[in-house]
Amino acid sequence: MSTEPAAGNQAASSGSSGDESLEAPIRNTPPVSDWTTDYDIFDEEYVTDPVPIWNDLREQCPIAHTERWGGSWLPTRHADLQALAKIVPALSSTDPLVVSLPEDMVEQEEEEIPVGFGAPPITADPPLHGWTRKMILPTFAPKAVEAYRPYTEELCHSLIDGFVAEGRCDAAEQYAQQIPPRVIAHLLGIDPDKADDFTMWVRGVLEFGLYDPKLRVKYRDIIRDFLFAEVLARAAEPRDDKLSEYLAMDIPDGLEVDRVGLVVGLANLLLVAGIDTTWSSIGSALFHFGSHPEDRHRLAADHSLFPTAIEEMLRYYSPVTMARVALEDVPYDGVTFHEGDKVLMNFPAANHDPEVFDDADKILIDRQRNRHIAFGSGIHRCAGSNLARLEMDIALRVWFDRIPEFELADPDGVAWAGGQVRGPRVLPMAFPPGQPR
Ligand code: HEM
């Protein structure tokens, strides 16, 4: 496995090594008339700044419903999100995106795809959930993720080397977006120089593919084919990497699982869950400090604030809202989730609940009591949170060391992705030009 990150100038390019490019599909949805009965998580207003919408909903209708995108429920209170996360498996994780695949695609999958494919443990209920989670947990233990610190630090420096002399960059595309795909590739033992492809594929699944199931399936299949070849290669000749390690693990007796398919599923999840989420959080943090000079000066002057500042970024700009599907009628606090209904696990809204957070809508980079659930709650709580925190910590510390003075170059030019994973995708930043190392 290579230990050297890609060179900065190469990393800074935005294209993919393939010949394809990814375009956002057109959404022809009417404007929202009433957020309590007709919300739209893909609406521009929701994507750009959902906080006021959640606050209104929490007061007026804490578990809202919409018919849009196949229909779903949207809880906004911290206590409800925690309670709903415990209703397992009646609120099942087997279909975690709000827009489901059309019936014919699901039927085809059921015929073609052995148990274990998909993206367990996030797409699995017990018992498959428990033991697939156990397989990957050691990879993300605090000590284990420390092994990726030198690689990540060197990567961040090399990225900054690629643009620091210019005095400007797109901090989303040239920095935040470049870090997680390479770290995950490095961890899995696959080629980090395919990072631009991984980025495009993951956006195809988790950004544009959220509301365009055909696009989602296209990129999901590309990822699966790629990983399938990688896993088969390890099955033939094991290497010193995680894919080989997962292939060699014990599978409990009595569970009919295709071993190669299972490892493809695990790798699929780690690639998909580890990329969009973490780069969104790194990008949101840079957005914040690039638009709030007082907080930027304070953090630049006092690095002991990094741990609380990072938790506050995770709380305020929480990126991830996964869905559950009701396997039976589930009555909950005055509403009934009917069999087949989607419930959005709106952890980001929970993190703005004034019942739990003082000054919930203020960003306090020294907030001491911060019981946020950006990483979820219950049995599906993020397995990669230690790695995510490590990447955020390194990405921000290296940036602040190299570029302590910076600001948004064009606040109107910032573009957000949203829906189920929210973060800036265009983030023009300006700073005094510096020297590559
Ligand atoms: C800031 C970055 C991240 C955030 C905010 C985040 C958030 C979340 C959330 C909210 C869940 C729960 C989903 C649910 O309840 O359905 C989750 C699950 C998960 N995340 Fe993360 N995540 C991040 C980074 C990562 C990274 C870097 C990895 C690993 C490469 C990772 C791996 C996972 C896995 C494996 C699960 C499924 C756990 C299970 O189902 O038992 N995540 N994440």
The answer for residues whose C-beta is within 8 angstroms of residue 38's C-beta and 6 or more apart is 32, 66, 67, 68
Residue located nearest, by CA, to atom 18 of ligand 1: 382
Of all protein residues, the one whose alpha carbon is nearest to atom 15 of ligand 1 is 380
User: By residue range, what is the domain housing residue 209?
Assistant: 8-430
Does residue 260 line the site of ligand 1, with CB under 6 A?
no
Please indicate, yes or no, if residue 347 is contained in any of the structural domains.
Answer: yes
Amino acid at 100: S
Burial-class residue 121 by CB neighbours within 10 Å (0-12, 13-18, 19+).
buried
User: Using CA atoms, how far apart are residues 224 and 272, in angstroms rounded to an integer?
Assistant: 11
Q: Which among 179, 187, 277 is the best mutation to test ligand 1's pocket, defined by most ligand atoms within 8 Å of the CB?
A: 277
Q: Give the pTM.
A: 0.93
Strands 322-326 and 342-345: antiparallel
Q: Is residue 1 part of a domain?
A: no
Cite the beta strand spans of 257-361 per DSSP E: 322-326, 330-332, 335-337, 342-345
Residue pair 309/297 in contact (Cβ under 8 Å)? The answer is no
Residue with tokens 């030009």: 433
| Total structural domains within the chain | 1
Does residue 120's CB lie within 6 angstroms of at least one atom of ligand 1?
Answer: no
What's the pLDDT score for residue 376?
Answer: 98
Q: In which residue are the tokens 């492809």 written?
A: 197
- d(CA 17, CA 11) in angstroms, rounded, equals 12
Kindly state whether residue 107 falls inside one of the protein's structural domains: yes
Q: Provide the token pair at 27.
A: 């959404």
For CA atoms 378, 384, 390, 395, the dihedral sign is negative
Q: Is residue 109 part of a domain?
A: yes
Residue 435 domain flag: no
CATH number for the domain including 80?
1.10.630.10
Q: Quick check: is 3 in a domain?
A: no
For ligand 1, atom 23, which residue shows the shortest CA distance?
A: 277
Ligand 1 centre distance from Cα of residue 240 (Å) = 25
User: Dihedral, CA atoms, 143, 400, 188, 263, nearest 10 degrees?
Assistant: 80
pLDDT for the residue numbered 160: 98
**Successive 10-residue mean pLDDT values, the chain, 437 residues:** 36 40 77 95 94 98 96 97 98 91 68 63 91 94 97 98 98 96 94 90 87 87 92 95 93 78 92 93 98 98 98 98 97 97 98 98 97 98 98 98 98 94 97 96
Helix ranges (H only) for 189-258 are: 195-206, 213-236, 242-247
Instruction: Check residue 213 and give its pLDDT.
Output: 85
